[in-house]
């Protein structure tokens, strides 16, 4: 199975860039997710609960957005 995506680079340069750089966005979102996980799982004992809760909420929000768009990391 093959897929061919075609762009008129004179008119659709940004769409082409978005398409070809999608994997970079996925890598960045994955790194952010992993960083948030690490900062909550291994938070020092003196880290306020409010900070940990905020990080968990941000991670959950990112994951909700991904699910809504049918994306996975």
Could you read off the pLDDT tens digit of each residue along the chain, which spans 73 residues? Answer: 999 999 999 999 999 999 999 999 999 999 999 999 999 999 999 999 999 999 999 999 999 999 999 999 8
∠ CA 44-59-30, rounded to 5°: 100
Q: The pTM is what?
A: 0.84
Which pLDDT value is given to residue 27? 97
Which pLDDT value is given to residue 73? 87
Task: Provide CB contacts within 8 A for 19, sequence distance 6+.
Answer: 5, 7
């Amino acid at each position: 199975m093959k897929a061919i995506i075609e762009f008129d680079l004179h008119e659709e340069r940004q769409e082409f860039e978005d398409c070809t750089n999608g994997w970079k966005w996925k890598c960045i979102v994955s790194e952010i997710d992993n960083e948030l996980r690490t900062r909550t799982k291994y938070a020092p004992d003196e880290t306020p609960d409010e900070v940990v809760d905020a990080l968990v909420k941000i991670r959950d929000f990112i994951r909700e957005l991904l699910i809504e768009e049918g994306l996975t990391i």
